[in-house]
Structure 1
């Protein structure tokens, strides 16, 4: 499959010497939802800004729908819609005027029926003749989305789209994202709400200190890097973990009332049954047990937070 977005060796170094991006390579396929995760200052917004033509790259190439971003800028940029973090729009314009203007900027002919449906989908039709300055913050965010979609882009960037918005808008936005994907639109989003990426994304990329350190199918990532924790609530407390259980690297918790076993997901088939058999042989009974699968957030934190030299492994995971 030919990617709709191809980024090769992309780098950005500012005059101050700060290297915001370091040789980033990334391919995005048509119709997928790709979540780009990273801490503040990792390079997420710089990457998006370069692809959208707001910031000039120091090195590397960007191709959108087969159009080279540098040699065929207009064609490449016309395929992209951007919903930025910050609200930037003319406060004195009417909603329908600014959305129509955004469509015209990309050379698209007037299409009142399309704009009407777009505004209705975003619950803006009743506000179409309102000045943007009169709208609430949530409604202004909806206008930014409408502007980004007004020229019917094939690739939509959502940069922290739900930061600081109400629950209703967040729900409406993700319904819209699903609908766009069904129509073949490619969605690239950055978010601090990792549970949204876990729910919505097909693939996940993690960027840290300007470097793209991982790109993986979401389910494969959780399966490959995920860990499970088994907690056994003991019938009688233990003062220490018996030496006979040493191979499982167990920890005592809750004043000796709980045994905690952390293990790789793929080891579950052998590790847990053998542990329970050994406990039975030793006469150690438990009243209850529970398991917890590591989340995408756990994996993210583990990837971007490097352990300090000499720090114990247990503290590194904390």
Structure 2
């Protein structure tokens, strides 16, 4: 999915977008937590919203979910103003917060059956349990689940109503590496089913692995929106070539790493010792953008 450097959208809202925002402002006293955000999220994409604590991410998402009023700007979520969204609109949203029903005395199946009863056309609870990999835990009480299983249950509760748009707030906090990758596979599967996903995360590798596009927010403003590999000019940044020669570790920056490695290889009879070629990671780019690089 190609995208160049972020440009401020046109003034009109995008009627085809899952989420379209123009000039969003939310103030707390004299402080603007959100200070004129413009944003479009396409239907069917995974969009990651990145930013340090206090950047305005949570406030922005709460406005989009209809939980918090805004002070200025225009917002449409699935074509509806969240400030006036009714039950039919809310039934099209799935929301997975950082804490869920994991401590419940109810079983996984009972929790899903109760949640499904709120929606006009819910998924079958058994189907949802299978989708999130909890079939064998259908009769287990929420409080007996592991951390990763509880998070899967949170997602199951968020998708049982067949949402068109799913909000995932820090979904893999506390996961071990294997559980994180299993969860990523689930998120991709939901996208394949047609669900638009707005993800907030502090894990930059998670954003890079999942997101079609990412937006970086700081001080209540969007700094840039783009595909992870191109954000902040990352795709055009020089490559760093490292190798060992005469017992010394050497590095060089180059805009043409293929040609550089070819020339380097000609100096050695076999493999270039300890050869490595790298470009700035998404984390490198993100820290530079928000000004937190040491």
Please, what TM-score do these two structures have when normalized by structure 1? 0.75
Deviations 1:194-248 (A, max 9, x none): 1121122111111112211110122333654533213354438xxxxxxxxxxxx
Q: Give yes or no for the alignment of 1:181 onto 2:194.
A: no
- Residue aligning to 2:209: 199
Query: 1:53–1:87: structure 2 CA closer, same or farther, 3 Å change rule?
Result: same
Q: Equivalents in 2 of 1:100, 1:288: separation in Å?
A: 56
256, 259, 262: which one pairs with 2:253? 262
Structure with greater Cα Rg? 1
146, 161, 170: which one pairs with 1:160? 170
Question: What residue ranges of structure 2 are gaps of 5+ in the alignment?
Answer: 1-13
Q: Equivalents in 2 of 1:211, 1:226: separation in Å?
A: 24
Partner SS state of residue 120, structure 1: helix
Q: What is the root-mean-square deviation of aligned Cα atoms in Å?
A: 3.0
Asked if structure 2 preserves the Cα contact closer than 8 Å seen for 1:36 and 1:189, the reply is: yes
Larger RCO: 1 or 2 (CA < 8 Å, sep 6+):
2
Q: Equivalents in 2 of 1:270, 1:100: separation in Å?
A: 57
Q: Give yes or no for the alignment of 1:4 onto 2:22.
A: no
Q: Equivalents in 1 of 2:277, 2:144: separation in Å?
A: 50
Q: Give yes or no for the alignment of 1:25 onto 2:38.
A: yes
Q: Equivalents in 1 of 2:177, 2:258: separation in Å?
A: 43
- Residue aligning to 1:42: 55
Q: How many residues align?
A: 273
**Shift of residue 131 of structure 1?**
2.8
Asked if structure 1 preserves the Cα contact closer than 8 Å seen for 2:239 and 2:257, the reply is: no
Asked if structure 2 preserves the Cα contact closer than 8 Å seen for 1:226 and 1:299, the reply is: no
Partner SS state of residue 11, structure 1: strand
- Residue aligning to 2:134: 124
19, 37, 52: which one pairs with 2:65? 52
Question: What residue ranges of structure 1 are gaps of 5+ in the alignment?
Answer: 237-256, 281-285, 307-316
222, 229, 237: which one pairs with 1:219? 229
Asked if structure 1 preserves the Cα contact closer than 8 Å seen for 2:22 and 2:74, the reply is: yes
- Residue aligning to 2:282: 296
- Residue aligning to 1:229: 240
Query: 1:47–1:88: structure 2 CA closer, same or farther, 3 Å change rule?
Result: farther
Q: Equivalents in 1 of 2:258, 2:196: separation in Å?
A: 41
Q: Equivalents in 2 of 1:186, 1:196: separation in Å?
A: 17
